Amino acid sequence: MEETNIYINAVAGISPQETFYEPAFFQPIAKPSGNRFICIEPDYDELIDAKLIRRMSRIIKMGTAAALKCLQQAQAEMPGGIVVGTAYGCLQDTEIFLKRIIDYKEELLTPTAFIQSTHNTVGAQIALLLQCHNYNNTFVQSGHSFESALLDGLLLLKEHEMNNVLAGAADEITSTSHAILERFGLYKRTEDDDFYSYKSKGAIAGEGAFFFLLSNERSEKNIAKLEGVEMFCDVLEDEVANRIEQFLAKHNLSVNDIDLIIAGRNGDKKNDVVYDMLDANTFSGKQALSYKHLCGEYPTSTAFALWLALELVGGGAASPFLCNQTINSDVKKILIYNHYLNAYHSLLLVNAC
């Protein structure tokens, strides 16, 4: 049976950088606010009815706008399916509901905030706006949420259940959740001038919403091929290199065949030990760049990395945007490796069409 290729036809996203409007690479670099990145949100009126916007929380607006923009760019009216990955869900609505429980002593509660606090709200809202009755699924698997959504989309397309799938991820950070996670030591207590200087423990908090239109059909709309997605959990640091080599071998490749590596360094010395080991051995001599100085650390940040890979494949106009990380202009094969909390490891393989 002939292998089915999976193509990416369009991408759109909202992040702490000006990624919603093209060309993103010629915009000034946005810096974090203290130890937290905050998304630059677009004018939602361009895509969503103003009456609906008033009833949407921030993450629902971000996810919905990114999805609608992605379909608009692909000139696609209706996706064959919608799959979303999110680790945090709709935190703002969850906080509102919990606060009302306390304020109203568990009496006379309106259900709206609770209904909109569920993790599948973003995917459901997209379907409601499109009047889409097709496949709709949301994955909530911490640092593997986005990868699980991608893998689901790949399987649907390879089994020819549909011709295209709208796959994406959306996660937000609120003041309350940021304060809680900061107490756990996930985020830096002080602001460093150099993101990767390791002057203090922890990372910079991030957030974002990105959607990709996947297809199993070759056409002039294809941006790149998504050749592989793999996840693994709780492996020893010295086992990561073997897993990467095994992943590439499945696709008849070796590290030498990769033109560019996008790695998930986050500025936390303990977190980045794995990347140091890979740079010294497996990735030695290869073009590599980091991306979390642009979006911060959050469970579905690999969606930002995939957007970046699509912007870079086949061209090298992004050097100013990457903060002095220069790359060769002839980039065809890109490997994305990221881990979240050194527990959730993921690999994405992107190839130029």
DSSP per-residue string spanning 156-217: HHHTTS-SEEEEEEEE---HHHHHHHHHTT-B-SS--SSTTS-SSSSB-B--EEEEEEEESS
Place of tokens 């940040």: 301
Chain Cα centroid distance, residue 183: 25
One digit per residue, pLDDT tens: the chain, 353 residues?
A: 457 899 999 999 999 999 998 776 667 788 898 889 999 999 999 999 999 998 899 999 999 999 999 999 999 999 999 999 999 988 888 888 888 888 878 777 777 767 777 889 999 999 999 999 999 999 999 999 999 999 999 999 999 999 999 999 999 999 999 998 898 889 987 766 678 877 778 999 999 999 999 999 999 999 999 999 999 998 988 899 999 999 999 999 999 999 999 999 999 999 999 999 999 999 998 989 999 999 999 999 999 999 999 988 866 555 555 655 667 768 899 999 999 999 999 999 999 98
Residue 87 contacts residue 300 (beta carbons within 8 Å): yes
pTM of the shown model: 0.94
| Domains, the chain | 7-215 (3.40.47.10), 224-352 (3.40.47.10)
Residue 63 contacts residue 206 (beta carbons within 8 Å): no
